[in-house]
Structure 1
Amino acid sequence: MSNLKGDFFGGLTAAIIALPLALAFGVASGAGAVAGLYGAIVLGFFASLFGGTSSQISGPTGPMTVVMASTITVFHNDLKAVMCVVFLSGVFQILFGVLKIGKFVRYIPYPVISGFMSGIGIIIIILQINPFIGVDSQSSVIGTISHLSDTFSSINYKALFLSTFTLIIMLGTPKKIANVVPPALLALTTMTILSIVFNFDIKTIGEIPTSLPSFSFPSFDFSNGKDIIMLAITLALLGTIDTLLTSLVADSITKTKHNSNKELIGQGIGNTLVSLVGGIPGAGATMRTVINVKSGGRTKLSGIIHAIVLLLIVLFLAPIASKIPLAVLAGILMKVGLDILDYKFLKVARFAPKNDMIVMVIVFLLTVFVDLIMAVGVGITLASLLIVYRISKEANLKISLEKNIENKDVNQENSKIRVLDINGAFFFGSASFFEEEINKLLDTEKLIINCTNVPFMDISAIFTLEELILKLKDLGIDICLVLRKRHINKIEALDKTNIFKDVNIYEKLQEALDKE
């Protein structure tokens, strides 16, 4: 309780920031503004209570909202199926935490994260075009783009006026004012008051219940099982990435270290409970977390206070919130989309390595136009293949004559003992290159393969050596190996066909040269 004051003001400030965003994400998802609020309240409370990042604020986020909107489109008018997706996503996150796979998120290549986050930002911006100008929303990026001509012929100029000035406030509020009143809250209140005073005929949020949500346990429909599970995995993976990246940001500001697996369990508990009240799922929210920390929040109490403040707003200020124009929320979300774009990578894009740019662009295009989970999967796979190719090309194979034996007058043409030095990782990526080089050495009587400079050897390399031994035996060429002790142990454990038992194996090259 030593930081009670800081946690109180951190949680209060985070709630003020979270209010317009929760409303906006709820509307953008298609579940309604109140679903956004319920998601922020329930997830914000339980993720803070059970999570592993003390200062983190959780709630609906842009990436999670995009997937939720897709889920609602897939299961149109089937709320139970939608909430089943949310429930299972939470269960998967709990499993991720229990299985301790949170640490692996840090190994996702940066170009994949960059392309994915920029793609999410563009999706949010495109999907807000219609509400921004007062036209009914489309459910997809392609649908929005394909109907642009019809959309712009039906502009509601009052809505456009409100959304434009909302975006101006979001972008142009002086820092001195922004430090006192968050731009999102300033835009929300001023533009809503303006709309009410001038009685603008535009669409608003509509009625928000002023009572606690009713509980309903989601049911699994086996006829839609495949779609439910795939969307749940997508939400879980996305929530995991989103959350743990925010946890790293919180660590860097507070100079602390989060528990990634505990954080995933907390997020999973929160999202499973969100499904019981019909809310939209979420994750650790970077902007709200940073605001919380800068306002003094340091412990789990700040996240709990943030959730309680939002609950009080629902119970006592819902009639006022119901009058908020959708165009104002669209303006706020436009700014959110712009903030998600990865300007850090974009600034250095023309100087970035070609392979990284290829990965980033492919992930970006797949995210925007195809599928989020496919984008991440393809991105990680492509980045991994490019890394393997790069490492394989850097593997150095040096062919030399018999060496370190004095008074030997040999030359390249007449030498009957060759030494092949392998430098670098010897694995599936470099095994085929190694095999090609061996074919150049078939004019010798003895071959010494020196692997003492190999830091890593996988099963593909061992199997390649097996095939090589058999091939050289058929050609009447003797072979011996020089290996590190741990590689010898690995080979002995895998040598079920006893191929290596007939091969002389040494730990030092000089021993092989002396005895061969």
Structure 2
Amino acid sequence: MFNLITKSDSNVKNDVLSGITVALALVPEAVAFAFVAGVDPMIGLYAAFMMGLITSAIGGRPGMISGATGATAVVMVALVAQYGVQYLFAAVILAGLIQILFGVFKLGKFIRLVPYPVMLGFVNGLAIVIFLAQMGQFKVFDTLGIAHWMTGSQMYVMLGLVLLTMSIIHFLPKLTTAVPSSLVAILAVTFAVHGLDLEARTVIDFVRDMLPEAEKATATLAGELPSFNIPMIPFTLETLYIILPTAVIIALIGLIESLLTLTLIDELTNTRGRSNKECVGQGVANTVTGFFGGMGGCAMIGQSMININSGGRGRLSGITAAVVLLAFILFFAQWIEMIPLAALVGVMFMVVLGTFEWASFKILRGANKEDAFVLLLVTGVTVAADLAIAVIVGVIVSALVFAWKHASNIFARTHIDEENWKVYELEGPLFFGSVGNFKELFDLENDPQDVVIEFKNSRIWDSSGIDAIDGLADKYEAIGKKLHIRHISPECRELLVKAQKYVEMNINEDPRYHVVADKLA
């Protein structure tokens, strides 16, 4: 419905112009997330610069933008409030080291286990979160610091500028793709506001709203180069106990959000990122950021979508965004402070339209109610709680739904062979979910003296299946009947305890597969 993704390949011009667009959109986001974490705005801006530069240079997904994010910022609040910002820097360094280990041990590949409905729910929930986050820009603060919705001409001007921004982004590519439409929209709206002297809130107004009254007059986004500092904390086990829980959560949330964003960009661009390399890239970026006074972060899906939509495909786009952001901080802060918030809100609204997976409505109308439930669940949890929690919940629920659906897929065909033995030819997987149905397949009292369980068309998946076979063998032995087990893997034979002596080995026909069990761990 809304095909906002530019299909052009990477080139220098597209990457540079797209990077400038992203840099403009990074400023208010980084400032906002710094306030969420309870730290100085410069700490958020430094994180956006260093995270973006390092992950773009060495990460596993060209074109993806990283920086300070809300998902990681909310985790930092308690640590900063209780122990101070130096402990935050130490936690970010430790989180980076954990992420590097994830990449070194190639754990990034597990992102492939995220089911499609969970991915759709994540994307849709994130689009809603981005949309709701922009609603705060339609509020103003009174002298008591209380937020109120805009009214009258101020609201009309805001809405008009947002619609103008969205219109330029939508229609300009139909005329020319020489420059990113988002960049043109931001510049056009900025010139319109200041040229016509319109009443519109700017980036510096947003910063002032976040500061105490005494600091509003001197508020600025101008800064200096970040400097290397070792966190000023005691290097003791007690300090490790303090920062470790926060570091682990930052690392996991950062990787989940980054790898899901990587997967989304892969789908949009028909390319393939490297998840383990991205884990290392995110880890190195967080580690360096912690030493240079940044709050850390992860991939930013909103800014990544702006980049992809503007034609940014290569590493140069992210590097340009980071370098231009630093240039803004050092030399051009007064220009960035003049940008109307309405222009950035309009850009983000177009990101929402491009991010939301409108095709998911087909799933909701389809016959597969389980997928529809998972999609809605993940979307709801993403909006109400957190992206990482939503994905974890979605994966768990999807696994349970899968197990429930396959639990009833085990059955047996029975016949009496020429030796008057009863043969149970199993069909379907034997695992923890199907053990109950497996046990009900057998008629122990009425079975003949010799019983065969044929696993040629079945497979044992876990130790629950092994224990079920052992239990069945024990019952047949108790009533004096002889059991024969055919066509199970050598590993299954090794794991069996009571039924091992009943297995008939056939080296040429027995299958070879592994079983998930603790006994061989």
**Would you say same fold, with TM above 0.5?**
yes
Contact 1:134 1:156 in 2 (8 A): no
Q: 1:358 is matched with which residue: 365, 373, 376?
A: 373
For 1:222 and 1:501, the matched residues in 2 are separated by 49
Which residue does the alignment assign to 1:241? 259
Report the AA paired with residue 386 of structure 1: V
Residue of structure 1 in register with 2:182 after alignment: 184
- Pick closer, same or farther for the CA change 1:117–1:478 going to 2, 3 Å: same
2: CA distance, partners of 1:99 / 1:90: 14
**Whole-angstrom CA distance in 2 between matches of 1:340 and 1:251:** 13
Using the alignment, how far apart are the partners of 2:494 and 2:503 within structure 1? 16
For 2:504, the aligned partner's letter is I
Structure 1 range deviating more: 312-321 or 209-218: 209-218
- AA paired with 1:160? M
Match of 1:208 in 2: 221
Query: Which stretch has the larger CA shift, 231-240 or 41-50?
Result: 231-240
Partner Cα separation in structure 1 for residue 283 and residue 255 of structure 2: 11
Are 1:277 and 2:293 matched, yes or no?
A: yes
Q: Which moved more, 1:387-396 or 1:209-218?
A: 209-218
2:441 paired residue number: 437
Quick one: which amino acid aligns to residue 131 of structure 1?
Q
Distance of aligned partners of 1:309 and 1:130 in 2 relative to their CA distance in 1, 3 Å threshold: closer
> Are residue 229 (structure 1) and residue 247 (structure 2) matched?
yes
1:345 matches 2:345: no
Counterpart secondary structure, 1:424: strand
Separation of aligned partners in 2, 1:475 and 1:317: 88
Q: Is the 8 A contact 1:48 1:56 kept in 2?
A: yes
How far 1:30 sits from its partner (Å)? 3.8
Is 2:344 aligned against 1:336?
no
Cα distance in 1 for partners of 2:224, 2:509 equals: 83
Partner in structure 2 of residue 500 of structure 1: 499
Task: Give deviations 1:348-401, integer Å, cap 9, x for gaps.
Answer: 421151111111122222222234332222211110111122222222322x23
Instruction: Give 1:56's aligned residue.
Output: 63
Distance 2:140 2:342 in 1: 6
Tell whether the 8 Å contact from 1:472 to 1:478 is kept in structure 2 after alignment.
yes
Q: CA deviation at 1:229?
A: 3.4
- How many percent identity over aligned positions? 25
Write the mapping of 1:123-162 to structure 2, written as runs, cut at 5 A. Answer: 123-135=129-141, 154-155=149-150, 157=152, 159-162=154-157
Task: Give the unaligned 5+ runs of structure 2.
Answer: 1-8, 208-218, 234-238, 511-521
After TM superposition, the score normalised by the length of structure 2 is: 0.78
SS of the residue aligned with 1:324? coil
Inter-CA distance 191–468: structure 2 relative to 1 (3 Å threshold): same
**Displacement of 1:329 after TM fit?**
3.5
Asked whether 1:452 is paired with 2:456, we answer yes
Q: Distance in 2 between matches of 1:312 and 1:457?
A: 57
Q: Is the Cα contact below 8 Å between 1:445 and 1:477 reproduced in 2?
A: yes
CA distance in structure 2 between the aligned counterparts of 1:105 and 1:346, rounded to whole angstroms: 24
Unaligned segments of structure 1, at least 5 residues: 137-149, 409-415, 512-516
* Residues 15 and 306, structure 1, Cα contact 8 Å, conserved in 2: yes
Distance 2:232 2:367 in 1: 48
Checking the alignment, whether the CA contact within 8 Å between 1:169 and 1:183 is kept in structure 2 is no
Question: After superposition, what is the alpha-carbon deviation per residue over 1:194-224, rounded to whole angstroms, capped at 9, x for unaligned?
Answer: 4445263742445112421244444675675
**Count of residue correspondences:** 467
Q: Deviations over 1:175-207 (max 9, x none)?
A: 235734434333433443444452637424451
Matched, 1:304 2:316: no
Task: Please name the residue that 1:287 is paired with.
Answer: 305
RMSD of aligned alpha carbons: 3.5
Are positions 1:401 and 2:408 aligned together?
no
1:381 partner SS = helix
Matched with 1:140 is none
Give me the whole-angstrom Cα distance separating, in 2, the residues matched to 1:228 and 1:25: 22
* Superposed CA offset, 1:382-424 (max 9, x none): 10111122222222322x2313x2xx8xxxxxxx632111112
How many angstroms does 1:443 deviate by?
4.2
1:70 to 68, 71, 74: 74
The 1:281/1:324 distance shift into structure 2, 3 A limit, reads same
Tell me the residue number matched to 2:47.
Answer: 39
CA distance in 2, matches of 1:290, 1:284: 12
The 3 A distance-change label for structure 1 pair 441 and 114 is farther
Aligned: 1:482 with 2:486? yes
| 1:466-477 equivalent positions in 2, closer than 5 A | 466-477=470-481
Take 2:317 and 2:94, find their aligned partners in 1: how far apart are those partners? 27
The 5 A counterparts of 1:422-433 are: 422-433=426-437
SS at match of 2:270: helix
The alpha carbon displacement at 1:35 in A equals: 5.0
Flag the 1:332–1:305 CA change in 2: closer, same or farther, 3 A: closer
Residues 270 and 508 of structure 1: is their aligned pair in 2 closer, same or farther, counting only changes over 3 Å? Answer: closer
Question: 121-130 vs 26-35, which deviates more?
Answer: 26-35
Give the number of the structure whose residues are more often helix, by fraction. Answer: 1
State how far apart, in whole Å, the 1-side matches of 2:425 and 2:398 are. Answer: 29
Is the 1:132–1:331 Cα contact (8 Å) retained in structure 2? no
Contact kept, 8 Å, 2:374 with 2:397, in 1: the verdict is: yes
Residue 167 of structure 2 aligns with an amino acid whose one-letter code is: G
Q: Is the 8 A contact 2:91 2:244 kept in 1?
A: no
